[in-house]
């Protein structure tokens, strides 16, 4: 079925009233052979390209609107000038777009081809590590410069020729980048797996060391009268054995006291080496050192020696600051500083196995 070519036109209400015509609004004008014949060939071609459902679309980004006539009657005489005016706008926009495109292509062709290929470096997080990745590209506007968007104009033969020349190098760079990335991933995977294996081995070793330390402390407890029975019957005597060692280290020093790791008194106490200790402090240091040596290696068989898992360290003369306390009114009471010798009893294989014996060194 043949269809007539019609143009949508519009007469405004204001124009109709001014002309004394009681009708206005949208209507259609059907083109005749003589109408089309009166148009130049290039104008007819432009009309064919831009006609959209009876409306002449100015550009792909604009709405199709009817032709606004300048007279209140619909005829070729009123339609033709408005149509030509609309088509002139279309032509101007297309010419501007073509000029912009050509300028963009010329700007691209002015860039040395060695600069068309570039790399974007990113990192991925795999196997617990950041792994570098290289993404090789041809100019695509990634740097925010519209005129560097080569892919936008890749259908132009001049741009397509550059793409073709650069294709082998781009492919090679991408293949190399992929191979390098896979190698880095494999290395990260091996490192991660080795770290996991080390962690498992260290955990197993820590368990074995703890079991050995517990057994040594149990053997020590068997030689202590009050701990012998529970140690023999399989009760946990680890803490009691450490407390016994701390008590032995404290000995007969009436003013010495013990701090246990994890307690408020231990966690909030502090000490640092004292400057220019006086003579009484050195006498106290000598007494403490001799006493600790006697506890480490007791003479005779009166009691067992200190287990090998227990490390005992005698400090130099220090300025000791006890943890603060609070009175009945919840007011903080600062501890009184003192000159002291600190003996640390530690079992590295056991958590919270540390005991500290503080020996005041000056009255």
Instruction: Please compute the mean of the pLDDT values over residues 231-251 and round it to a whole number.
Output: 92
Report the phi/psi class of residue 142: left, alpha or beta, with left for phi > 0 and alpha for psi in -120 to 50: alpha
Label residue 124 by pLDDT band (50, 70, 90): confident
What percentage of residues in the chain have a pLDDT greater than 70? 91
Label residue 184 by pLDDT band (50, 70, 90): very high
**pLDDT tens for residues 131-144?**
999 988 888 654 44
Instruction: Please compute the mean of the pLDDT values over residues 49-66 and round it to a whole number.
Output: 76
| Model pLDDT, residue 157 | 92
Label residue 146 by pLDDT band (50, 70, 90): very low
Secondary structure of the chain in HEC code, one letter for each residue: CCCCCEEEEEECHHHHHHCCCCCCEEEEEECCHHHHHCCCHHHHHHHHHHEECCEECCCCCCCCCCEECCCCCCCHHHHHHHHHHHHHHHHHHHHHHHHHHHHHHHHHHCCCHHHCEEEEEEEEEECCEEEEEEEEEECECCCCCHHHEHHHHCCCHHHHHHHHHHHHHHHHHHHHHHHHHHHHHHHHHHHHHHHHHHHHHHHHHHHHHHHHHHHHHHHHHHCCHHHHHHHHCCCCCHHHHHHHHHHHHHCCCCCCEEEECCCHHHHCCEEEECCCCCHHHHHHHHHHHHHHHHHHCCCCCCCCCCCCCCEEEEEEEEEEECCCEECCCCCEECCCCEEEEEEEEECCCCCCCCEEEEEECCC
Instruction: Please compute the mean of the pLDDT values over residues 51-68 and round it to a whole number.
Output: 76
**pLDDT tens for residues 297-350?**
766 545 667 888 999 999 999 999 998 766 655 665 667 889 999 999 999 988
* Mean pLDDT over the full length of the chain: 87
Instruction: Please compute the mean of the pLDDT values over residues 285-294 and round it to a whole number.
Output: 92
Predicted structure pTM score:
0.53
Instruction: Please compute the mean of the pLDDT values over residues 96-107 and round it to a whole number.
Output: 89
**pLDDT tens for residues 194-205?**
999 999 999 999
| Model pLDDT, residue 171 | 93
User: Any idea what the Cα angle at residue 208 is, between residues 203 and 211, rounded to 5°?
Assistant: 125
Instruction: Please compute the mean of the pLDDT values over residues 213-235 and round it to a whole number.
Output: 91
For residue 256, pLDDT beyond 80: yes
| Model pLDDT, residue 144 | 42
| Model pLDDT, residue 143 | 45
For residue 65, pLDDT beyond 90: no
| Model pLDDT, residue 342 | 95
| Model pLDDT, residue 194 | 93
């Amino acid at each position: 079925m043949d269809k007539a070519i019609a143009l949508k036109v519009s007469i405004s209400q204001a124009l109709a009233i001014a002309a004394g015509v009681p009708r206005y609004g949208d209507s259609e004008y059907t083109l005749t052979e003589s109408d089309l014949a009166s148009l130049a060939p290039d104008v007819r071609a432009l009309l064919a390209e831009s006609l959209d459902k009876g409306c002449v679309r100015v550009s792909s980004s604009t709405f199709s609107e009817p032709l606004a006539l300048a007279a209140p009657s619909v005829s070729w005489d009123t339609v033709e000038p408005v149509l030509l005016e609309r088509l002139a706008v279309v032509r101007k926009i297309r010419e501007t777009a073509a000029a912009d495109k050509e300028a963009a292509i010329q700007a691209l062709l002015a860039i040395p081809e060695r600069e068309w290929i570039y790399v974007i470096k990113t990192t991925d997080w795999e196997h617990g590590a950041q792994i570098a990745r290289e993404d090789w590209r041809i100019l695509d506007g990634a740097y925010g410069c519209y005129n560097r968007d080569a892919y936008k104009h890749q259908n132009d033969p001049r741009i397509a020729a550059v793409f073709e020349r650069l294709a082998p190098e781009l492919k090679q760079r991408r293949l190399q980048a992929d191979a390098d990335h896979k190698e880095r991933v494999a290395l990260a995977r091996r490192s991660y797996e080795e770290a996991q294996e080390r962690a498992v081995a260290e955990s197993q070793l820590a368990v074995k060391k703890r079991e050995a330390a517990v057994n040594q402390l149990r053997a020590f407890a068997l030689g202590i009268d009050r701990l012998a029975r529970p140690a023999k019957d399989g009760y946990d005597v680890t803490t009691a054995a450490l407390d016994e060692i701390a008590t032995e280290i404290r000995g007969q020093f009436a003013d010495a006291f013990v701090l246990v790791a994890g307690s408020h008194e231990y966690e909030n106490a502090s000490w640092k080496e004292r400057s220019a200790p006086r003579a009484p402090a050195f006498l106290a240091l000598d007494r403490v050192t001799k006493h600790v040596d006697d506890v480490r290696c007791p003479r005779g068989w009166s009691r067992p020696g200190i287990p090998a898992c227990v490390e005992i360290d005698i400090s130099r003369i220090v300025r000791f600051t006890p943890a603060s306390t609070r009175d009945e009114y919840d007011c903080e009471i600062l501890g009184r500083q003192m000159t002291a010798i600190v003996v640390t009893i530690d079992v590295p294989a056991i958590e919270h196995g540390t005991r500290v014996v503080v020996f005041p060194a000056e009255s």
